[in-house]
Amino acid sequence: MITTMNSLQQLRRASLSLALAFSLTACGGGGENNSGTSSVASSTLSVLVSSSSSVSLSSSAASVVASAKTSSSVATSTSKSSSSVSSAIQKSPKRGIAYNLATPEDITAISAGVSWWYNWSDRPNSNIPADYQTRYNMDYYPMLWNFNFNATDVENFLQQNPGIKYILVLNEPNLTDQSNKSPQDAATEWPKYEAIANHTGVKIVGPAITWGTQTNYEDPVKWLDAFYAAYRAANNNRDPHIDYLAFHWYDYGLAGQLDRLQKYGKEFWITEFANWHPQNDGAQIDTLAKQITQMTEMVSICESRSDVFRYAWFTGRWSNDVHFTSILAANGQLTDLGKKYISLPNK
């Protein structure tokens, strides 16, 4: 499972700082006309953008303040009940949630507009009814978080549940507080995943890469390049079996980040996303209205791109939710953000 919420949030912000610095100096933050200078320093496990950074906001980031007033009226509207919202929704097969759904009430609340979920584990929560696929019209996808798993148990589970067609693997290998695998170690152990796919027919989704804190491999492209090179060197120049790449993103510029990963020739699962822009630069996400604006924009990117196969909002409930990312409130109740997520159009 993932680490404690506070430590994960700190690591997210550290990796976001590095990603922001890179996007401003190297790739323009997702194709938008960004300019600026950043100096990046590494201290123990964190990566920080120095306080002397000069940042010119992208048009997307700068629009946050302007759109907040409009979005606020959406965020504060609670006149529709969950049932009336549900009645008008056409569900997107792409749309999911990264969260450990643990009650029938919660899964019922989101099922009108969410098609799948995962929980960083190789089994759904035991409180979820066994007939979830037919009852809620939702799929569950297991994850092999690192390489510590019982292959026989995993294969038996998949064979007993033939409706599961995909398996997520290797969560954030270049984050030192997540699976924390060097490209070389990951290449050595990757055949464990391949064996499960060969024996069961599931498709491999991963690694789930992001901007990280691993020395020399903070950039996900550098980690992936080294991983591919190490795997090919050990396997007669054969590429690893990867059906889809997974990616996590918590800032502006999602489209540009995906563009950087197109070189690997894989469709994407964005298995964690929200906007947690950390800089106090006027574009920080510190209101529900701003998060609704960003959710709408990011979902539109995911729905419109043919190379995005699945995507999952992070998350259901989050303590110390300073960026307003929770889509569930009390048991079985959607937040205003949750109502927005399940009602957004699909393309």
Pairing assessment for the beta strands 143-144 and 139-140 based on DSSP bridges = unpaired
Question: Residue 47 above 70 pLDDT?
Answer: no
Pairing assessment for the beta strands 46-49 and 54-56 based on DSSP bridges = unpaired
Strands, DSSP E only, in 210-307? 244-249, 267-273
Burial environment of residue 251 by CB neighbours within 10 A (0 to 12, 13 to 18, 19 or more): buried
> Where do we find the tokens 């020739």?
265
> Where do we find the tokens 């804190």?
213
Our CA angle for 105, 166, 231, nearest 5°, is 140
For 158, 241, 253, 312, the CA distances from 202, given in Å and listed in that order, are 8, 11, 31, 19
Give residue-wise pLDDT tens across range 187-206: 999 999 999 999 999 999 99
| Dihedral, CA of residue 45, residue 25, residue 285 and residue 118, to nearest 10 | -60
> Where do we find the tokens 């008008």?
88
pTM: 0.81
Rounded CA-CA distance 211/167 in Å is: 22
- Nearest-Å Rg of the Cα atoms of the chain is 20
Give residue-wise pLDDT tens across range 75-127: 434 334 444 444 456 899 999 999 999 999 999 999 999 999 999 999 999 99
All domains in the chain, ordered by first residue: 66-343 (3.20.20.80)
